[in-house]
Structure 1
Amino acid sequence: MEKLLADIVHIARQAGQAIMVVYADPANAVMTKSDDSPLTQADLAADRVIKDGLLALNTGWPILSEESAQIPFEERKAWSSFWLVDPLDGTKEFIKRNGEFTVNIALVENGQPILGVVYAPVLDVCYFAARGVGAFIKRGAEDAHPIHAVSPAAGEAIKVVASRSHADERTTALLQMLGEQQCVSMGSSLKLCLVAEGAAHYYPRLGPTMEWDTAAAHAVVIASGGNVHDNAGVELQYNKPDLHNPEFLVRASAAKPLRW
């Protein structure tokens, strides 16, 4: 698992390099998907790099990417293990040029993410984790070090992370249940990773997300000692007939649960 994790970190970094080639040229085209969401040339370039890299590993596990999400459930339901990929999570952040977008690669086994890599190429920050290995962060040229989700200490201000692009009144009302708090805005799957590294205590997401948006960071959260669960307290599942996620909350395992 440790060797496989290192391989996936390498692939994610290669995909990040492909993204940065496009990012460096503001003249590159932005297209629109069938659901009117933006698609850049960087999405497509990163998707090719990741698929080629995963196939070269010869694991035999199928690949489900945001860019190939049309694979029917009748085919997918036989998959006990598979790669779940978002080649560029945070396309709106990419278009805004704020750097808060990521490459997400996860290994899902029996509905649970057991390995995940989240790489932010502009920030040169990589979160990576695997079952039995732990969760880690590597910033730039620094050595990687372990990370852990933490609960608020007595008297400590509660830190919550919210979406840069998807703020809403229901989320604001939910966060009021926590009392006094500090709020940090962030884009893409980096929001989950902030909880995993202990930089935030909670991340509620009451807006729409897809499985590929969360799987890699979810693996990091689990390995760091956190949870990603729905309003009933059930951990998110993957490879469902409908690939939409339910609304969810990210928190350290020992942190106070919330219901909405």
Structure 2
Amino acid sequence: MTDEDLLALAATLAERAAHAINAIRAAGFAVERKSDASPVTEADRIAEALIVEGLRAATPDIPVVAEEEVEAGILTALAPRTWLVDPLDGTREFAAGHDSFAVNVGLVVEGRAHLGAVAIPATMEIFGGIAPRGLAWKRDAAGQRPIRARAIPAAGATILASRHYSDDPRLDRFLEGRRVAEVIKIGSAVKFCRLAEGAGDLYPRFGRTMEWDTAAPQALLEAAGGRVAGFDGAPLRYGKPRFENGAFLAQGAATA
């Protein structure tokens, strides 16, 4: 399968998962707690099963690492090409009745975010990108069109901050000395999508994230001309112990 075929597969499965999540949201659901006290719902599990089954059927040669399987102790050996799946990124947002949650299906190649699809169920926006090709797009009710990250406007940067970490003093220190137009507090990979389509400029992340949280949206943003790197400037890489990311800065087309 070509990169275009793989992205089409990821986008189709992310979209199907988004519809499944919306159906569960409409019907009502219970919220449980995982071993790390983070929330999980039926929507997480059903969406993951749909995506994982689809990926393994279509690409049996590419291993799949998925959040809820890892939580259940199912550890898949990594390969030069590996799918990373977060079936419901932003479960806290979903459980709280907010709309900023997403479905992430990303492909990592040799430790780099290569391509990915991100679906936003609440608005049924589907984003896709192939990082090495510089090819990124958005599909919604108006159709599919190319997207591109923007340079920071003269009026100042729009900062996208994690809603659950918006009182982190490190955010205040990050903002010091910067020309800031506004700070928007939202959850999940939706922030990457807004950067990729030119609706924001910087997303500093200081709290813990996992590789399945970032693989698809990083590929999308970099395909749109943006960048994701640690605060030391090193690109965010994959295949780390326990799949944990360090702090990072996601940005649009301008140097931060």
1:66-215 to structure 2, matched below 5 A, reads 66-69=67-70, 70=73, 75-76=77-78, 79-130=79-130, 131-132=132-133, 134-139=135-140, 141-153=141-153, 155-167=154-166, 168-215=168-215
Q: Deviations over 1:56-92 (max 9, x none)?
A: 213410000111224558x33xx11110000000000
Q: Which deviates further from its counterpart, 117-126 or 130-139? A: 130-139
1:22 matched residue in structure 2: 24
Letter in 2 for 1:34: S
Give the conservation status (yes or no) of the 8 Å contact 1:201–1:255: no
Letter in 1 for 2:36: D
Q: Deviations over 1:131-182 (max 9, x none)?
A: 326011122x2121111112213x3222111112221111122112313331
Secondary structure in 1 matching 2:193: helix
Secondary structure in 2 matching 1:24: helix
Q: Which deviates further from its counterpart, 210-219 or 192-201? A: 192-201
Give the conservation status (yes or no) of the 8 Å contact 1:204–1:249: yes
Secondary structure in 2 matching 1:165: helix
Shift of 1:48: 0.6
Letter in 2 for 1:209: T
Partner Cα separation in structure 2 for residue 23 and residue 188 of structure 1: 17
Secondary structure in 2 matching 1:242: helix
Q: CA RMSD in A?
A: 1.5
Residues 24, 223 of structure 1: alpha-carbon distance in 2 compared, 3 angstrom cutoff = same
Residues 56, 133 of structure 1: alpha-carbon distance in 2 compared, 3 angstrom cutoff = farther
Partner Cα separation in structure 1 for residue 198 and residue 39 of structure 2: 32
Partner Cα separation in structure 1 for residue 13 and residue 75 of structure 2: 26
2:254 matched residue in structure 1: 254
Consecutive unaligned residues of structure 2, counting only runs of 5 or more, are none
Q: Deviations over 1:201-242 (max 9, x none)?
A: 111001111111111100001101111000110110111123
Secondary structure in 2 matching 1:144: strand
* Count of matched residue positions in the alignment of Structure 1 and Structure 2: 250
Letter in 2 for 1:33: K
Give the conservation status (yes or no) of the 8 Å contact 2:155–2:179: no
Letter in 2 for 1:17: H
Shift of 1:4: 2.1
Give the conservation status (yes or no) of the 8 Å contact 1:12–1:105: yes
Partner Cα separation in structure 1 for residue 180 and residue 90 of structure 2: 29
- TM-score w.r.t. length of structure 2: 0.93
Partner Cα separation in structure 1 for residue 161 and residue 8 of structure 2: 30
Partner Cα separation in structure 1 for residue 48 and residue 87 of structure 2: 5
